[in-house]
Amino acid sequence: MTGYSKTGFGVSLIGSGSATPAQKVTNDQLALLVETNDEWVTSRTGIRQRRIIGPDESIAELSFKAAHSALKMANWEPESVDLILLATSTPDDLFGMAPKVQSKLGAKHAVAFDLTAACSGFLFALVTASQYLQNGSYKRALIIGSDQLSGWMDWTDRRSCVLFGDGAGALAIEATSKEKESFIGFELRSDGSRGDCLNLSEKRNFVPLIDSFQTQKGGFNTIQMNGQEVYKFAVREVPSLLQNVFDKYAISPDSLDWLLLHQANQRILNAVANRFSIPPEKVLSNLACYGNTSAATIPIMLDEAVRDGRIKAGHLIATSGFGAGLSWGVALFRWNGPF
């Protein structure tokens, strides 16, 4: 389906997939690298181990595997996909990783491109893709969130290197009739004035070119983070935006089946849930196994809970992504997949 339609369509969320690297690095193993210990990392973050991409793997391959798995769950032929949106801050090619995934999937009729919004990337991509479906431009979209932050870590900085991991997750969404709408609504925010508390910035490295001219030699620094500022930002802004969305769409937090937050820190998850008196058993968490996989946390968590039967068809889910930019967002949807 192509072309703009004023009629308007709904969006159905029907397939999920995920892929994570084989190498597991525990807190005890990281303690061989920096002055830390399992007790500190577990009690302050909830993280027990993270997955790190090894030489036989790549972020493009993990992205493909996650997307392929979502495609299978949705029971789609690759040629039927119209759009592939890949949220990442760490592509294997700065010109874009999504077309590589498209080609490997055999999704030859799809347009594929990358979108960057750090840890909010998957949520921003989900909202972006849903707009194409709701306005009738496209019928089927794959949204992928993947990151390989291990490549940009300062492995001597114990304040940040214990937090992150690598991985990929994906979601298949389809246009449906307005009456069957499952993507209830969203709010997105960004604030560059606070961007300094978390960044992966370019190196300002100028070298002689010709005569008196200089040119910049490309390259990036390692991840720099003011953990306490990011923590305060998350526990302040995420509940505020969730409240905004609950009010806007007349949803009571009691009616949620699941709270699916970006997996940054278990203490952040607990603080947000407490704010709405959402019981711990409704708060999805797999931080202990993967740490913070940036754009991949939400779809990896979703896929895990769909496949182990926790998330069932019709369940109401509130999700929130937040992180560098600073950027943050909330979306409300019902799961429609086959599980």
Does 264 bind ligand UT7 (CB under 6 A)? Our answer is: yes
Task: Identify the active-site residue in 27, 119, 161, 336.
Answer: 119
| Member of 18, 265, 285, 327 binding ligand UT7 (CB under 6 A) | 265
Determine the residue with CB nearest ligand UT7: 227
Does 310 bind ligand UT7 (CB under 6 A)? Our answer is: no
- Using the minimum distance from each CB to ligand UT7, give the nearer residue, 44 or 48: 44
**In one letter, which amino acid is 8?**
G
Identify which range of 33-41, 55-63, 78-86, 104-112 contacts ligand UT7 by CB under 6 A. Answer: 33-41
> Do 104 and 179 contact (CB within 8 A), yes or no?
no
Query: What is the number of alpha carbons within 13 Å of residue 292 lying toward its C-beta?
Result: 26
Q: Which of residues 178-237 bind ligand UT7 (CB under 6 A)?
A: 225, 227-228, 230-231
Q: In angstroms, give the least distance from the CB of 284 to ligand UT7.
A: 16
Q: CA–CA separation, 118 vs 114, rounded Å? A: 12
Does 40 bind ligand UT7 (CB under 6 A)? Our answer is: yes
Neighbours of 108 (CB within 10 A): 10
Does 330 bind ligand UT7 (CB under 6 A)? Our answer is: no
Q: In angstroms, give the least distance from the CB of 291 to ligand UT7.
A: 10
Q: CA–CA separation, 140 vs 202, rounded Å? A: 35
270 catalytically annotated: no
68 catalytically annotated: no
Q: In angstroms, give the least distance from the CB of 268 to ligand UT7.
A: 7
Q: In angstroms, give the least distance from the CB of 44 to ligand UT7.
A: 5
For residue 133 the two structure tokens come to: 């479906």
User: Counting Cβ atoms within 10 Å, is residue 7 exposed (0-12), middle (13-18) or buried (19+)?
Assistant: exposed
Q: Rounded to the nearest 10 degrees, how much is the dihedral formed by the CA atoms of 276, 168, 40, 274?
A: 0
Task: Identify the active-site residue in 27, 262, 289, 336.
Answer: 262
Identify which range of 54-62, 156-164, 177-185, 302-310 contacts ligand UT7 by CB under 6 A. Answer: 156-164
At 39 the three-state DSSP class reads: helix
User: Which string of DSSP letters, residue by residue, matches 119-150?
Assistant: GGHHHHHHHHHHHHHHTTS-SEEEEEEEEEGG
For residue 12 the two structure tokens come to: 């159905």
- Using the minimum distance from each CB to ligand UT7, give the nearer residue, 176 or 265: 265
Question: What backbone phi and psi angles, to 5 degrees, belong to 280?
Answer: -55, -30
Does 162 bind ligand UT7 (CB under 6 A)? Our answer is: yes
Identify which range of 8-16, 34-42, 74-82, 312-320 contacts ligand UT7 by CB under 6 A. Answer: 34-42
- Using the minimum distance from each CB to ligand UT7, give the nearer residue, 40 or 339: 40
Q: In angstroms, give the least distance from the CB of 38 to ligand UT7.
A: 10
161 catalytically annotated: no
Locus of tokens 């991985």: 167
Does 282 bind ligand UT7 (CB under 6 A)? Our answer is: no
Residues in CB range of 274: below 8 A, 6 or more apart: none
Identify which range of 129-137, 157-165, 244-252, 276-284 contacts ligand UT7 by CB under 6 A. Answer: 157-165
Question: What backbone phi and psi angles, to 5 degrees, belong to 128?
Answer: -60, -50
Question: Which residues form the catalytic set?
Answer: 119, 262, 292
